[in-house]
Amino acid sequence: MGKGDKMSWGGSNRLQTSAYGSINPDIDSERKAPSFDVEKLTNLLDGGADRTRIRRSAEHVINSDAVFSRENQYFLTQIERYEAAVKKAVHLRQKMKELGWTDDGPEIQSAFGALGGDVAFAVHNGVFMPTITGLGTDAQIAKWVPLAQDYQIIGTYAQTELGHGTYLRGLETTATFDTSSQEFVLNTPKASSIKWWPGDLGRSANHAVVLAQLYTLGKCHGMHAFIVQIRSLVDHSVLPGVKIGDIGPKMAFEQIDNGYLIMQNVHIPRENMLCRYSEVTPDGSYIKQGSDRINYISMVCTRARILSKELVPALSKACVIAIRYSVVRRQSELKPGEMEAKILDYQTQQQKLLPQLATTFAFHFMASTLEAFCNQVNVQIKTKGDISSLPELHALSAGLKALLSEICSAGVEVCRRACGGHGYSMLSGLPSLYTRVVASCTYEGENTVMQLQTARFLMKCLTRVDCGQPLPQSVSYLSDPISLHCSAKEKTDYLKPFIYTEAYKHRAQRLITNAGIELQSLLQSGVEQYDAWNSTSVQQARAAIAHCQYIVVKNFVETLEGLKHEPEIQRVLKMLCDLYALTGILVDAGDFLHDGYMTGRQLDLMTACQLDLLALLRKDAVSIVDAFDYPDQQLTSAIGNYDGHAYERLFEWAQKAPTNAKVNLAYEKYLKTRFQSAQSKL
């Protein structure tokens, strides 16, 4: 957008001359002597130097191609954003062929990262095709997937309805088998059953995997998936019996045509039911073959991937923008008589931003661990049909998705507001980071529902503890003895990981145990199960959150232990780990004081320790965010570029706004004659 963006600016390893002549000296001075090797930290975050190379090369493909430019994105209408996203998707498919990138290779993942989600057909690629692969027979896969891969058909995944989201059993769309015609007849019988939200549906898709209640021979067999053609392949017209439209403007995702779908007696052949696990025979009999629970793993892994694909990138970008801006922005005299201070030198600004930076690292490592767990369970299932780890993985991914999406959304917003008025301008890049990331609190399972699913798992684990049965690894601590008091005596004790890890563990143990006791006591007093659950659900949700917070801290500490051979990197990460853990305790101080595990005096020492960490980390803050290695094009922020020329770029970008077009109809129509009448009076 600005002149600077035409160059491949970004992380510490891709420096070129700034389009504004030089690096802003206020940001340049911050990079004089980082206390660690920035490139090494980048490599660590990428998972090795090789992965860094691959990522940079893929990013270069995207950032050097005009079709993929996000220039002017803040100035486009919803329709223009959609058109650009379709163009990019088709162009990317072409590029992939040329470059020999595979659908599951690291290059395309990096490319998607570089595109910032600004590309069409995410549901087609990410859900429509995988559903066919997961639930279809080999013949169905052979028929549909090649066409889909080549974008000769575009499919959507139509599950959510106007009146039903997370609660799948409540879906009202029906697919009724008609033995005479050997067809399924699909219907959305009322307003609340209109399919609502599916991506790629409103304007692009000509096919849909529709989730519907299967009826055959007068009996309902529950939710099944059907491939339904919805638009003509010849002229894209909507097929008879089908109504489709766009659901209108949303908080973000302007580029996606989330749509609605109404079906009135839409007939599809019997073969279009995805029937790897269940089938309707020509005579209308329903046959179940094997369990589709195996397929459940893909839904769980999709949820887990949100952490690394959406949450961590959003928070890390917000940190980059806000921290760079905070060393360029000066405000008020800190020391009388001196020039105005960089706002990052104010303790209040450090207190806002540096814990977000620490959180980014905590969540990055958590996302890696969760993905590794997903892969492990996937292998167990695929190779041995062993689904025994699925409940643990489900509980963990549900709870972590809920926790991390809440905290990342809040964190991005903290970063945005910390940039004052400029953080309110779309050109800062921060508003759209927020409006996009916050959607993750709702999609792939609403957060409160997710927390309560984790809580149900925890309650089951408690029962196992009572029966002396072994527990899955992530919850094994529930059978550990509960320590009574935090053993920290002086300020530096709070820099000992076992001190704070133990505190998180204690809190989780206490809240989970108490939720269990409360539930049992209601049941024993004769309250019905559903009522007892509802009456303790606020407490249950809190317990689930405490569990996940413990897991995140423990995981950060364990990750650090694995970095003993990189003491310099470990040192800076250790500060971030300490800051993350201590901030979390101070924010929820009541939880740790409640039963006297900690005292007010201990928390005062911990506060002092946390403030010390802020002052220490402040020195390396710019170098740490440089290590995220985002090229400027991926930040799409006028105030967060590597060269620190925030004001110049804001000014340059603003002038391109369509609101600066010459014609001003409002003046012509409503103001001109009024103003002219003042001419003689002044």
Q: How far apart are CA 163 and CA 645, in angstroms?
A: 48
Task: For its own copies, give the closer residue by CB, 59 or 652.
Answer: 652
Taking CB under 8 A as the binding criterion, the range among 100-108, 294-302, 308-316, 431-439 that sits at the site for its own copies is 431-439
Task: For its own copies, give the closer residue by CB, 318 or 650.
Answer: 650
CB 181 within 8 A of CB 267: yes
CB neighbour class for 579 (10 Å; exposed up to 12, middle 13-18, buried from 19) = buried
Least Cβ distance, residue 473 to its own copies (angstroms): 28
* Alpha-helix residue ranges (DSSP H) falling in 66-222: 78-99, 106-115, 122-123, 129-135, 138-149
Least Cβ distance, residue 653 to its own copies (angstroms): 7
Site string for its own copies, 336-375 (x = CB under 8 A): x---x----xxxxx-xx-----------------------
Q: Judged by CB under 8 A, does residue 90 bind its own copies? A: yes
Q: Which of residues 372-391 bind its own copies (CB under 8 A)?
A: none
Q: In this structure, what token pair is assigned to residue 341?
A: 């201070």
Task: For its own copies, give the closer residue by CB, 203 or 224.
Answer: 203
Among 124, 305, 329, 507, binds its own copies (CB under 8 A): 329
Q: How far apart are CA 538 and CA 522, in angstroms?
A: 15
Q: Which of residues 177-196 bind its own copies (CB under 8 A)?
A: 191-192, 194, 196
Among 26, 28, 37, 83, binds its own copies (CB under 8 A): 83
Return the ∠ at Cα 430 (arms to 429 and 433), rounded to 5°. Answer: 95
Q: Judged by CB under 8 A, does residue 86 bind its own copies? A: yes
Q: Which of 363, 412, 316 is nearest to 627 (CA)?
A: 316
Least Cβ distance, residue 124 to its own copies (angstroms): 11
- Identify any residues that bridge with 220 across adjacent strands, giving them in sequence order: 215
Q: How many residues does this entry show for the chain? A: 682
Q: In this structure, what token pair is assigned to residue 290?
A: 């094997």
Q: Which of residues 650-679 bind its own copies (CB under 8 A)?
A: 650-651, 653-661, 664-667, 669-672, 674-679
CB 224 within 8 A of CB 274: yes
Task: For its own copies, give the closer residue by CB, 381 or 532.
Answer: 532
Q: Which of residues 600-659 bind its own copies (CB under 8 A)?
A: 600, 603, 611, 647-648, 650-651, 653-659
HSE-CB at 567 with a 13 A cutoff on CA atoms is 0
Name, in order, each residue with C-beta under 8 angstroms of 346's C-beta and a sequence gap of 6 or more: 334
Task: For its own copies, give the closer residue by CB, 347 or 388.
Answer: 347
Least Cβ distance, residue 595 to its own copies (angstroms): 5
Q: Judged by CB under 8 A, does residue 151 bind its own copies? A: yes
Task: For its own copies, give the closer residue by CB, 310 or 591.
Answer: 591
Among 79, 139, 217, 482, binds its own copies (CB under 8 A): 79
Least Cβ distance, residue 255 to its own copies (angstroms): 10
CB 262 within 8 A of CB 194: yes
Q: Judged by CB under 8 A, does residue 150 bind its own copies? A: yes
Which of the following is catalytic: 59, 107, 392, 444?
A: 444
Task: For its own copies, give the closer residue by CB, 48 or 146.
Answer: 146
Site string for its own copies, 519-538 (x = CB under 8 A): ---------x-xx--xxxxx
Q: Judged by CB under 8 A, does residue 96 bind its own copies? A: no
Task: For its own copies, give the closer residue by CB, 384 or 601.
Answer: 601
Least Cβ distance, residue 240 to its own copies (angstroms): 17
CB 43 within 8 A of CB 53: no
DSSP label of 273: B
Q: How far apart are CA 401 and CA 314, in angstroms?
A: 14
Task: For its own copies, give the closer residue by CB, 37 or 446.
Answer: 446
Name, in order, each residue with C-beta under 8 angstroms of 260's C-beta and a sequence gap of 6 or more: 162, 194, 195, 196, 201, 202, 243, 244, 245, 246, 247
Number of residues that bind its own copies (CB under 8 A): 134
Q: Judged by CB under 8 A, does residue 66 bind its own copies? A: no
Q: How far apart are CA 307 and CA 23, in angstroms?
A: 33
Q: Judged by CB under 8 A, does residue 170 bind its own copies? A: yes
Name, in order, each residue with C-beta under 8 angstroms of 649's C-beta and a sequence gap of 6 or more: 1, 2, 4, 20, 638, 639, 641
Phi-psi region of 644 (alpha: psi -120 to 50; beta: other; left: phi over 0): left
Q: Judged by CB under 8 A, does residue 65 bind its own copies? A: no
Least Cβ distance, residue 524 to its own copies (angstroms): 17
Q: How far apart are CA 213 and CA 221, in angstroms?
A: 7
Active site residue 444: yes
Among 283, 385, 424, 498, binds its own copies (CB under 8 A): 424
**202-234 burial code (b ≥16 CB/10 A, e <16):** bbbbbbbbbbbbbbbeeeebebbbbbbbbbeee
Q: Which of residues 105-134 bind its own copies (CB under 8 A)?
A: 120
Q: Judged by CB under 8 A, does residue 541 bind its own copies? A: yes
Task: For its own copies, give the closer residue by CB, 62 or 154.
Answer: 154
Q: Which of residues 400-419 bind its own copies (CB under 8 A)?
A: 413, 417
Q: What are the φ and ψ backbone dihedral angles of 227, each rounded to 5 degrees? A: -90, 120
Among 239, 563, 595, 616, binds its own copies (CB under 8 A): 595
Q: Judged by CB under 8 A, does residue 250 bind its own copies? A: yes
Least Cβ distance, residue 386 to its own copies (angstroms): 30
Among 202, 516, 584, 640, binds its own copies (CB under 8 A): 202
Chain-centroid distance, C-alpha 330: 33
Q: Judged by CB under 8 A, does residue 427 bind its own copies? A: yes
Per DSSP, the residues of 609-638 read HHHHHHHHHHHHHHHHHHTT---HHHH--S
Residues catalogued as catalytic: 444
